Amino acid sequence: MDKTTDPKLKSFIDVHPESDFPIQNIPFGVFRPSKKDAPRVCTAIGDYVLDLSVLQKEGFFNQEVFKDKPVFNSASLNAFMALGKEARVTARQVISRLLSADVSDLRDNSALRKACLYTMNEVILDLPVEIGDYTDFYSSREHATNVGTMFRGKDNALQPNWLHLPVGYHGRSSSVVVSGTDLHRPKGQTKADDADAPSFTPCRLMDFELEMGFFLGTGNPLGKRITMQGADEHIWGLALVNDWSARDIQKWEYVPLGPFGAKNFGTSISPWIITPEALEPFRTKGPEQKDPAPLPYLQSKENRDTYDIELEVAIKGENMDEPFTVCRSNFKYLYWSMKQQLVHHSVTGCNMRTGDLLASGTISGPTPDSYGSMLELSWRGSNPIKFTNGEERKFLKDGDEVIMRGWSQGDGYRIGFGECTGKVLPALD
């Protein structure tokens, strides 16, 4: 086991057992102490943000992998990510030591603590990665089956290719936003089944999609594919993703080339990137892939390529005092793993690059309360969700805030992702 994930580790900073950010987590993000300050790289511990640029300036990151590379004094994680796995692992070891209860370097240096520790709710968390390319997959068998059943019938729910390859499409990275960014309801072409022609209207069927995304640390040269054996070296970290969806716009536009305006208006991600090292204690098996078995280039020897990550979605309407939980799912339900998504993406020789984002697609589980979208939860609007205040939803209304959370539960601690939030604003003129 990696020493940084030892459940017995304690920090000199008090951390609640249900905090997303114990000493075992060490997520990475980008923050600004205030609007006038320049962004810099940080980690989280309990209710605090730790400024890594200050620690690097003070000489704590003097290892060879960081020599003459001020990667933490940056507006994104990209320079740090481009150094690869060795730098990430080394940084975790340095941070873990500095935060440990029995190490005095930071604990007993009040001036240094004042310079590098900030209360989390007082800082600004920025988009952590400069995202070059964004690809969204369709990797949940339950989700694909549910949607296919709605639109094509139970006997033709999955398309012929679905069990043979991770289906995906190229998304739009320019509209990926950090948690807390509110989005306007999109406008576009829609067409009712009984209408003779389409009309230009605000989206009527606004939806969330519960997803997990992962970022590329190092890429591959054009023409040289990534293999299942080498994929782990390229996966730098994970984040929660809400890939907002305009269902009525999508229905009209998606044939024959797939989603376009229905998806490009906004994708929200959590501000913290959680590393594979933090999640390693929660590694687990994914669904069996036997009938049919994937082609050899997608096969995994042990099928332990996923993590046990609890996921939940809540909605808080304008007239609600508290959010109402509408969905509880788990990352381990995904049929196609992150490694398989990455390997299939590059199998043509496509060159992946530092900062690329690959998202899972909606993560639905086997029961109705684990479905990861309003489309499924309300079953295309036929079964509205009833809130405790008497309101109900078929799809999202203006003013609704969607709150996503994810965590892996350990013995006396949890590895959390923080929140991924966003509110639906009225359509613009």
Name every residue whose Cβ is closer than 8 Å to that of residue 180 and which is 6 or more positions away in sequence.
125, 421, 422
Please check whether residue 27 is in contact with residue 118, taking contact to mean a CB–CB distance below 8 angstroms.
no
Strands 199-202 and 187-190: antiparallel
Determine what percent of the chain falls in helix, strand and coil, rounding each to the nearest 5. 25, 25, 50
Q: What is d(CA 307, CA 410) in angstroms, rounded to the nearest whole number?
A: 12
Cα–Cα nearest to 328, from 362, 371, 377, 359: 371
Return the CA Rg of the chain. 22
In the three-class reduction of DSSP (H, G, I as helix; E, B as strand; rest coil), residue 19 is classed as coil
Asked whether the beta carbons of 76 and 131 are under 8 A apart, the reply is no
Tokens encoding 297: 């280039």
Q: Cis check for the bond before 256: say yes or no (omega within 30 of 0).
A: yes
Burial track 184-196 (b if 16+ CB lie within 10 A, e otherwise) = ebbbbebeeeeee
Strands (E), 259-400: 267-269, 283-284, 306-307, 310-316, 324-330, 357-359, 385-386, 392-393
Q: Say if residues 299 and 293 touch (Cβ distance below 8 Å).
A: yes
Q: Is residue 363 within 8 Å of residue 140, measured between CB atoms?
A: yes
Strand partners, 273: 28
Q: State the Cα–Cα distance between residues 101 and 397, nearest whole angstrom.
A: 47
Per-residue CA distances from 152 to 77, 147, 159, 256 (Å):
43, 8, 10, 16
Q: Point out the residues that are catalytic.
A: 143
Q: Backbone phi, then psi, for 246, in 5-degree steps?
A: -100, 95
